[in-house]
Each structure stands twice: as structure tokens, then as C-alpha cells.
Structure 1
């Protein structure tokens, strides 16, 4: 499922593989606090089943999560002070690299435009961890990511339970496995403040929509690819690199 290095229009920029892709219709409301009643509205009928606003937003959220957790995983790998921190960094890089591959593939099939940058709030998460050093860095990075992974669980479960689109269902399965793996390795570091994490997940701060929405890419802009380093491509995790068969069209699709 990885994009070939021979793909036309590709280049390495800032450590990420880039390929040129024409932007499609970008959803206007993608924040994590989106509770619009129209989320179950069908926006497209595809050969893989109907696609709802919630389905589309989920694909974008998976992509946006990788756009900040992948670089933070690299930072953890570089700055982590213990073997457990290094392991967490590896799992973050690999997990989000694999999720990104799936999200990009199904976005092409479903006509979903993906962001190239995380939301301002997510960018601030990375900046906050970047500003710390030593054990403070370990604790800051781990707890930020533990809150993020715990907070996405309800969304993953709801999408998996309700989607009628087989591609979105595939992504939800993979996301669930990856989130569980990441929570496990983050907790293995011994740095998670469970009381703080529980409070932040159950009582998240209210944020303006523009802070939690990833910016729309410009038409024709290169699409960032979260490339997994060669030495980590065979890393075994709870959510191993899936060799999913190509999804078949939904039996109910017209």
C-alpha cells in the first residue's frame, strides 16, 4: 500500500515523501468537537457503500492525527530518555505511517481531500512537547499523546458501529488496533498520569472551531506522505502492517 518512489511528481521535502495530487472537495467542518446533526447525511453513493459526513470527517481526522503524532514520534525517538520512550516513538512513527497509507488510498477511492497540516491545536501540542527537555519532555509528550489517543476511542467505535462503507470500516478497524497499541506503549513508559489523563478526556476544554480544524490544502498542492523509515518497516506491533485484500464493492451498492 506504500506509494512507490517512482511515482511521477514525487520528491523528498523536510523528511516526508511528497506527491502532487489535485485537491478534491474539502469538508468545511472537521474539528474534533463537531457535533452537527447532519453527520449522518449521505454525501456520496460509492461502490463501497454510502459515504456520510461522519465517514468523511473520520478519514480526515485519522490523517490529521498522523500529521502531528508522526513528527512527535520522531521527536520522542530522538529525545526520549529511556528505552521505553524510544519504543513508543517507533510505534508512533510506524502506526501513523501505516494509517496514513490507508487513509490516502481510500481517500482517492472515495473522493475525499486530505489536509497537509494538522490543526492549530495539534500544532501547539507538538510545540509544547518541543519546548521541554529531559524527563519533562518524556512526561509532557507521553501525556499529551495519551490524552489524544484516549479521546479518539469514542469516535472510532461509533464509526465502526455505524458506517455502511467498507473502506471506512477497514480504516476504523486499523485505527482501533493502532490506538490500542499506542496506548499500551505509552503506558509502558511509566510516565502516564492517569488521573490527569482521565480528567482531560472527560472534560476537554472548549476550543474555537478554527483551532481544531486542519487547514484546507490549496488546489494542486503536494500531499505529504508519512514515510516509514526502512529500519522500522518490519516492526511488529499489536496492529501489524495490514496486508488487507483489496476491498470489494458493497453488495448493496448500486
Structure 2
């Protein structure tokens, strides 16, 4: 049985794997709201693309936050992975999350959603753990952490896709569904996934304080971080031009994502 331990930042480590983040990630005060509700189906805005609910907004932020830690983890994997399968999985992380990030940055301003520039403290802990590891341990923890987190969010993507009435969120969910399934498959293809432990951690995550699970809001005026597609990118952003009448991906003044070191 794996043991749980907590580091100084409050991130919960689960042996060779880590607990998944699945909580509300919205910034209601930045959206002109004065009260947070627990009713995820509450409509917070009526847009030309359909009503936007609490869970719709949370989903867009979750996708963005996921990319802010999984993209650099993919970069780390390209440097540290010791098998061809781990290198391939790392390439898929960078490629897939760059495309998802482009879609998030396109639809967020249209829906008045504030996106983070950093992942949550827990997600930053994922990156820190893998940065500190090497060799077989890195490969194993990489595969199990990413298989667990993608397996957990997969159900959330399905729920959003089946319930949202907002066409922009629906387009993001379609893309996220394909990307998450692809990432699940490449993690499994490493042959390193401990399914018993991963599924246990996936279905019984520990309860952590909201401060560990919520990405910090970006400081006013800070350029938006961009997850740059790799030169050989094969993943493409969702085609929302027919819904929006066109538009570009990166926001003016956007800054490139920090690279793993």
C-alpha cells in the first residue's frame, strides 16, 4: 500500500503517483460576480453561443490549468525519458496541450472567462516531483501520474460534452475528449502503469484545501502565457471560426510559456 505524505507547500504525494485535481477553478470576482455558488448548473451569462454555466466556466479554466503543468512535464519527459514510449508520450503531451491552449485562449475572452497563467500549487507539485527524478523512477512516476490525472478528467469532459448548451464550450469539450483519450493511450503504451494503484488513486482522491487546488489569478496587466505548438505539431485547435466569424489564437502581448529546465 502506498503511503501519503505532505510537503511544505501542502501538495499531497501518493507514493509514486499523486492525487488528481478536480475542483472549482473559477475567479468570480474578476467576472463581476459578488457571490460564489455551489450550483454548478447555475447560468452565469447568456451569450450568443448559448448559456454559460458555472461548470462550463470551470471546465475552460481546468483545461487551461491542465496544460500549464502537463505541457512543461512533456518537455521534461523529452529530456529525461529513458524509453521510446515515454518520449512518445511526452511529445503527445506538448503537442496536444498546445492545441488545447490555443482553443482556450480563443474562447475565454468571448465568454468573459479569466484564465490563469500558473497551474495550482498541487499541479506545480507534480512538476516539481518529476523535475527532481530521473531514470526508471522518472519514467514510472511520469506514466502513473499522467494516467491517473487524465483518467479522472476524462469523466468530467464527458459530462460537460453531454450537458453544456454553449457551443464554444462544446467545441472545446470535443477537442479535449480526443486529446485526453490519446494521452491515456500513450501512457498505457509505456507498459509502466500500475492499474490497481492508479485506479484506486483516481477514484478515491484525498481531500485537499481549495488553496492547494486553485491556480492563482494572473496579476493585472501580466502578459498571457502561451503554450507554443512544437514545430512538428499534429494536433489542431478546435475549429470555431464558423461559430465566431473568425479570430486569432494568441492575445496581443502574449508571452511564450516558460520552458522546462
Normalization by structure 2: what TM-score? 0.78
1:43 aligns with 2:38: no
- In the TM superposition, residue 243 of structure 1 has moved relative to its aligned partner by 6.1
Distance 1:242 1:210 in 2: 31
Contact in 1 for aligned 2:49/2:168 (Cα 8 Å): yes
Cα offsets for 1:36-76 (capped at 9, x unmatched): 64211111111100101110000000000000000000000
Residue 14 of structure 1: aligned partner: none
Match of 1:241 among 236, 246, 261: 236
Contact in 2 for aligned 1:63/1:115 (Cα 8 Å): yes
- In the TM superposition, residue 219 of structure 1 has moved relative to its aligned partner by 1.6
Alignment: residue pair count: 212
Runs of 4+ off more than 2 Å: 25-28
Distance 1:102 1:225 in 2: 11
Distance 1:68 1:199 in 2: 22
Residue 91 of structure 2: aligned partner: 90
Residue 140 of structure 2: aligned partner: 139
Contact in 2 for aligned 1:167/1:247 (Cα 8 Å): no
- In the TM superposition, residue 242 of structure 1 has moved relative to its aligned partner by 4.5
SS at match of 2:67: helix
Distance 1:174 1:216 in 2: 25
Unaligned runs of 5+ in 1: 1-24, 29-35, 250-254
Residue 201 of structure 1: aligned partner: 202
SS at match of 1:116: coil
SS at match of 1:38: coil
SS at match of 2:206: coil
Contact in 2 for aligned 1:166/1:247 (Cα 8 Å): no
Contact in 1 for aligned 2:103/2:238 (Cα 8 Å): no
Contact in 1 for aligned 2:103/2:237 (Cα 8 Å): no
SS at match of 2:241: coil
Unaligned runs of 5+ in 2: 1-25, 30-36, 245-261
Normalization by structure 1: what TM-score? 0.80
Distance 1:243 1:148 in 2: 22
Q: CA RMSD in A?
A: 1.5
1:224 aligns with 2:202: no
- In the TM superposition, residue 247 of structure 1 has moved relative to its aligned partner by 3.8
Contact in 1 for aligned 2:102/2:237 (Cα 8 Å): no
Contact in 2 for aligned 1:129/1:140 (Cα 8 Å): yes
Residue 16 of structure 1: aligned partner: none
Q: Point out which structure has higher relative CO (alpha carbons under 8 A, 6+ apart).
A: 1
Distance 1:26 1:227 in 2: 25
Residue 108 of structure 2: aligned partner: 107
Distance 2:86 2:155 in 1: 26
Distance 1:165 1:243 in 2: 14
- In the TM superposition, residue 26 of structure 1 has moved relative to its aligned partner by 2.8
Residue 119 of structure 2: aligned partner: 118
- In the TM superposition, residue 81 of structure 1 has moved relative to its aligned partner by 0.3
- In the TM superposition, residue 132 of structure 1 has moved relative to its aligned partner by 1.1
SS at match of 2:39: helix
